[in-house]
Structures are given as structure tokens and as C-alpha cells.
Structure 1
Amino acid sequence: MKRLQPVLTFPDFQYSPDNVEGPGCNVDPSEVTLPGCSCPSHSCCPESCSCLQTRGQAYNSIGILLDLSRTDSGYCSPVFECNALCTCSDTCCNRVVQRGLRLRLEVYSTSNRGWGVRTLEAITRGTFVCEYAGEVIGFEEARRRQLTQRSEENNYIIAVREHAGTGSIIETFVDPAVVGNVGRFLNHSCLPNLFMLPVRVHSVVPRLALFAGRDINAQEELTFDYSGGYSNQPPVELLSTQSDAAIQASRTVGLQRKACHCGANKCTQFLPLDLSILN
């Protein structure tokens, strides 16, 4: 007898392509706070653009990420795009993530992991796929939400931790559970085909952009590592990766670890937790 797949109920949430200000957030993500360039041309050139000279060129002429070696290193620098104060056009090669979703993606019911996202077209390595957008919340709110979560509920909170020099650490918490976009449906994989980078456009609040880590075929499910890694190498400091078993056990008392069903050869068996929120 054929086993019937359980019917999923589509979640009730408010769709937003961009981050929105949530409880505990002290900076409006939509506020323009970064300086712009004064380039007279439609597309900026590294020789004359103050944005590219100060922060480096992240994309090639067709918007493909240039430095793909960042997926093999322990840390990475955020990407800075031209913004609303720049005089270049909307078609400037340094405007990629801000243009939003350009690919044909489909939210679908997977066989054993609830909802998932697959691509309806082939994607070239280094291509921006989608953003992980939601409510930008404060540390205490993120901690409260995680500790009050029921075992049957999904944890959507992503924590980005950036070193700003002189011992300063900038933390950003994004939760798309109530307000979010297609990124909230992406499943975790211990061997993902997407990786996440913080991208700053108009605001100091980073946008969590997902790029293709390899060439991806049409109809393939899109996944990323919830702990921030890619190919077992963490490209950006996202979720805490402390390995001391005793510390992890003490911080996760009362929390239900969720099993990982990604099917990868090196599957860790459990979905990662953001242990830092539980301190």
C-alpha cells in the first residue's frame, strides 16, 4: 500500500521582500544611513567610484559574485552595494541584492521536511538567489522567542555576528516567522548549495543574502546551512559553533533538538541551535 504524504497547511505570515523593524531593534532597516557615490555614469567603475574604492568591487558586470573563495575561508567581509544616495542608475553593476528576487523559485511540499524551495531554472555559481528577510529584533527579544518556543514550532531566527575591530561585535537577529519572504521556507542541509553573506545597501543593518555556492540544476531543492557554514567551512560568523559538549548541554536544557533529515553523507543528525542567544 502506498504511504500517503501528510497534507501541509500553508503558514499564516505577512509577506515582505525586505527586513522590517521589530521589537528591540534600535535602527530602522529602511532608513538610509550610508553615504553614496557621485558617479555620473549608469554603472560605476572601480577607477572613479568612491563606493568601490572604499569597499571593493563585489560583483562582475552581470552581477555574479567575484570572490567565491570566501566560501572556503573561516570569515568574510560584508558586501557593500550602491544605495539611494548614489547618483548611478538602478542598473549599476554594484546593485544586485537590492533589486530583489529575479529567479523563478517554487515553494513546495517535500517528502519528509515540510515546506521547501526549489528552483525552476538553472542557477550559475555566484548568482544572488534570494534574501532571508524578516523582522530585525534585539538580543533579548530573540532570546525570549527561542526560550518560549514550543517543540513542534520551527525556529526561524538567524543571528549574524560581525567583528567591527577593537573587540567590537555587531549582532543582527532576523526572524521571518511572522513577517518574511520566500527565504523562510528554505530547508537546512549539512551539504547545502547556497551560502549566506551580509550585504549592506542603504542601512547599517545588513541584509542576509543567499548566493549559489555551485551550479544548481533546475528542479533542485535550495538549501543552506543554518549554522552559517558551506561545504563544512563557515563563510560568515552566523550561529555559534562552540564544540564543548558540556557547555552546549547546559545551554540547551529544556530545548528540543530537532532531527536533521537532509540526507547528506556528513549529516550532523540535528539542526543547529543559536547557543549564543541562550546565554
Structure 2
Amino acid sequence: MANRGEKKKLRGRAARMQGGRGSGRATQGHVRLWGRHAVEAALKNPRREFRKLWATHEGVESLDGELPENFPLEYAGVQDLERLVARDAPHQGLVLECEALDDLHITDVLSGDPTRPIVVLDQVTDPHNVGAILRSAAAFNAAAIITQDRHAPPEGGVLAKSASGALELVPWVRVVNLARALEDMAEAGYWRIGLAGEAEEDFASALPAGPVAIVLGAEGDGMRQNIAAHCDNLARLPISNLMESLNVSNAAAIALYAVAMRGS
């Protein structure tokens, strides 16, 4: 067993490493990411600024490619890493602290490739859902996701782990006024389709040939009335009557697939 001096030393090291549990937003506004896919994607992202990587030897060996020379790496044990992340988070031997990604403006997206869909999320606040939507957006070549800054989860470890690397791949635009952002999309030529279970037309039939923005509301409440009013059309996914609705991330994946398959 450790003596009193050794226990004090261990407690001191744990305190220096901990920085508080949570969703992955570390102290002083930095972002803490964990898990191999999330960390590996961040390390490959030239837009990321890194502060420190805590890792087991096995975690470092699992990475695709070698770390740059003089990279801020500290080897740590599994229990040490558990103090750095959300409770029971599957860190896979890797915890990376870095700066948040730079903010993007909606014009950065609207001036891009109009054949790629945009995903608009109205008050979807669960980081697991937003992360899963980012993953689907990357899989189906979406141009971006757009959220309101006050009603969306922060960039962080839980969301990044759910996104499985897609946080680094899909532009994420946070806007102050979501209705105004939808107006900007219309001016840029995007047809805005809101997913609503009560709509009469099915989503595939409502799809235009040109640029499209898919608008999804939070589970339960759905889209706010003002956001629905800023859509060009409301459409539903043709699911069985046995189920009332789909999880918002599942709905996003199906809608993105439908966009990818139109005209095929």
C-alpha cells in the first residue's frame, strides 16, 4: 500500500490531470476529445490547435500515423484518463485537449457546392443526436449543419465521440437567428423542406432537382412554428403506423440518403 507521502503525491497528480468531468468542454473554454476516431480525426485536421494529448502506450499505437516531433504528449494510465473525461466515457486510451474550431459564417456554406444538401437543426440539444447527425452528414456528403448558437450542444467530447470523426469533416455553422438563416438559404436558391410527421406529402416526392436544405426539429416538440413557416414545404418520412416517430438522428440519415439517391 502507498504510504502517506505517496498518497499525497498521487492525489496531487490526479488533481492536476482532472480538470473536471463533463461533456468534454474543458477548463478555460478549451475542448477535450476522447476515443480513437474522434482524436485521430482531430489530429489530422489542419484547422485544429492542440494543447495536450494524454494517452496510454496502446492508445498511441492504435493511431493511424505517427505524432509530429515535440508533440505535447503525456503517457498516462487508464484510471488517470478516466478522471479527464465524462463518467464512463469510452476513451480508448486517448484524451486530447485542443482549441475549439474557428467559427464559420453561413456565407461560407452558401457560396459552396449547391448540389450538396444542408442540414438545419432547430433546437436539437442532445450531443449524441447532433454527433450522429454529423456522422450521417459526412457519410452522405452534406455541405454543412446549421444550428442556433443558444439552442445547440457545445463542441465537446460526447458529441465528437458520437460523430466518430465527422466533427472535423463537416462544417458546423452556428447562427444567432435561425429564421434569418433560412431566408439567406432561400435567397441563395435552396429549397427548404421541413420534416414533420403531420405533413401530407412524403419526403421523396417533395424533393426538388436543385439545392435543398433539410430542416429538423427537436424530438417531441418538433420544429417551432416560426421555423416551419420559413420552410418552402413540409414533408414526412413514410414510416409504419406502428411507430409514432423516429429519433431525429435516424430521420436525418434517411432524409440525407433520399437526397443522395434522387434521380438515380
Q: TM-score if structure 2 supplies the norm length?
A: 0.24
- Higher fraction of helix: 2
Structure with the greater alpha carbon radius of gyration: 2
TM-score by structure 1 length?
0.24
